[in-house]
Amino acid sequence: MEVLLTLFIFTVSYSLLFLSFFPVRSLKRIQNLTESPKESQSYRQYNLTWPYFLSFLGGYVVATVMVYIIWDWI
């Protein structure tokens, strides 16, 4: 139970840390890659799916490694 709680806390912490590294400029690039050509150019919304996915995936990977190192150390 402690391992799952630690993994959850580390995942959220590292994910938010990685999410803070995404500047608005790179979000515009990601938006341009995922945008369909049929959409109007005058009205754009930012698609935050990829930054959220990548940051939480990276946070999960780092958290898993950290929990494994801590669990192995004990």
Question: How much is the mean pLDDT over the chain?
Answer: 75
pLDDT tens digits for range 12-36: 998 888 888 776 555 555 555 555 5
Percent of the chain with pLDDT over 70: 64
Residue 24, C-beta contacts closer than 8 angstroms, at least 6 positions apart = none
Yes or no: say if 9 and 66 are a contact pair by the CB < 8 Å rule.
Answer: no
pLDDT at 30: 56
Where are the chain's structural domains? 1-24+47-74
d(CA 73, CA 22): 33
pLDDT at 36: 56
Residue 63's H or E segment, with its range, is helix 49-73
Q: What is the band of 42 on the pLDDT scale with cuts at 50, 70, 90?
A: very low
The answer to whether the predicted template modeling score (pTM) of the entire model surpasses 0.75 is no
Give the other-Cβ count within 10 Å of 30's Cβ.
Answer: 17
